[in-house]
Amino acid sequence: MNIYSEFAEVYDIFMDNVPYEEWCKYIISLLKDYDITDGLCLDLGCGTGKLTELMAKNGFDMIGVDNSDEMLNMAINRKYGNDSSTLYLNQDMRSFELYGTVKAVISICDCINYITEENDLLQVFKLVNNYLDPGGIFIFDLNTYYKYHTIGDSVIAENREDCSFIWENNFYEEDKINEYNLTLFIKEDNDMYHKFTETHYQRAYPLEKIKELLEKAGLEFVTCYDAFTRDDPKSDSERLYIIAKEIKKSAE
């Protein structure tokens, strides 16, 4: 899970095509479906805090958890720039600890796909269940098998004025593991370029397996949408949004 170290420095540059404000509106609309319009919310795998701080601007008291020191440093700088009260914690998703429960947990931008072992994912779901208020809501996204299979074995490159990357992608059908090797070239103050490399692994989980693990963790699967819609998943859906609910504490 030691990823997004050197890439953190240029992460927001290469992610500038992600419509975070639209993603935020979509997540808030989903939360409103369950009468959650404010209160304490956890962003699990918050990265550089872009979505976290947008949620804070929309009236939520945010906690951001991420395992990358470098990403969190950028999130904290963004927090100070926004004069927000977000609490950022440097913790692993598989063993995070909070001071109390929260109304909602969100986890987007492939965070769940990065948990490549079923037992680890079950542990993440158990922790989410533990830290949700009675009846609390868990919203997370998931890249699909279709997306990974479509990308397959390929090379993607992008050149910017101050940084460039080469993305070498491999998808291993049998294990449903997607591996991508990032080679980064980052321009220094002396106009020289510094080369970094990182390897990332993600796993494609069938929806039925996700449902099974949620149930084992004590969470109730509520629904699944084709991303950014209220439509059912399609055979060619590339990203899903899944909603689960805390039920055990509610029944006590």
User: pLDDT tens, 125-182?
Assistant: 999 999 999 999 999 999 999 999 999 999 999 888 878 889 999 999 999 999 999 8
How far does Cα 135 stand from its chain's mean position?
A: 22
| Percentage of the chain modeled with pLDDT above 90 | 75
Write down the pLDDT at residue 88: 97
Task: Decide if 1 is inside a domain.
Answer: no
| Look-up of token digits 């509520």 | 222
Task: Decide if 2 is inside a domain.
Answer: no
Q: At residue 133, what is the residue type?
A: D
C-alpha angle 55/218/137, rounded to 5°?
20
Mean pLDDT of 43-69: 95
Task: Decide if 131 is inside a domain.
Answer: yes
Task: Decide if 167 is inside a domain.
Answer: yes
Which residues span the domain enclosing 66? 7-143+206-251
Residues 45 and 113 both lie in one domain = yes
**Do the bridges between strand 102-107 and strand 132-143 make them parallel or antiparallel, or are there none, so unpaired?**
parallel
Residues 46 and 104 both lie in one domain = yes
3-state secondary structure the chain: CCCCCCHHHHHHHHCCCCCHHHHHHHHHHHHHCCCCCCEEEEEECCCCCHHHHHHHHCCEEEEEEECCHHHHHHHHHHHHHHCCCCEEEECCHHHCCCCCCEEEEEECCCCHHHCCCHHHHHHHHHHHHHHEEEEEEEEEEEECHHHHHHHCCEEEEEECCCEEEEEEEEEECCCCEEEEEEEEEEECCCCCEEEEEEEEEEECCCHHHHHHHHHHCCEEEEEEEECCCCCCCCCCCCEEEEEEEECHHHHC
Residues 93 and 215 both lie in one domain = yes
Task: Decide if 154 is inside a domain.
Answer: yes
Structure tokens at 48: 């550089």
Residues 57 and 11 both lie in one domain = yes
Task: Decide if 182 is inside a domain.
Answer: yes
Residues 122 and 167 both lie in one domain = no
Residues 163 and 48 both lie in one domain = no
**Residues 138, 128: contact at Cβ < 8 Å?**
yes
Residues 210 and 161 both lie in one domain = no
Query: Is the pLDDT at 3 greater than 80, yes or no?
Result: no
Give the tens place of pLDDT for each residue, 187-223.
887 788 888 888 999 999 999 999 999 999 999 999 9
Residues 97 and 119 both lie in one domain = yes
Q: CATH number of the domain that 199 lies in? A: 2.20.25.110
**Residues 182, 199: contact at Cβ < 8 Å?**
yes
**Residues 133, 246: contact at Cβ < 8 Å?**
yes
Q: At residue 170, what is the residue type?
A: N
Residues 56 and 13 both lie in one domain = yes
Question: What is the pTM (predicted TM-score) of this model?
Answer: 0.93
Task: Decide if 40 is inside a domain.
Answer: yes
Residues 117 and 193 both lie in one domain = no
Buried residues in 158-169 as b, exposed as e (16+ CB within 10 A): eeeeebbbebeb
Backbone angles phi, psi at 63, to 5 degrees: -120, 130
Residues 138 and 151 both lie in one domain = no
Q: CATH number of the domain that 37 lies in? A: 3.40.50.150
Task: Decide if 18 is inside a domain.
Answer: yes
Domain count within the chain: 2
Mean pLDDT of 220-248: 97
Structure tokens at 213: 């693990």
Residues 70 and 137 both lie in one domain = yes
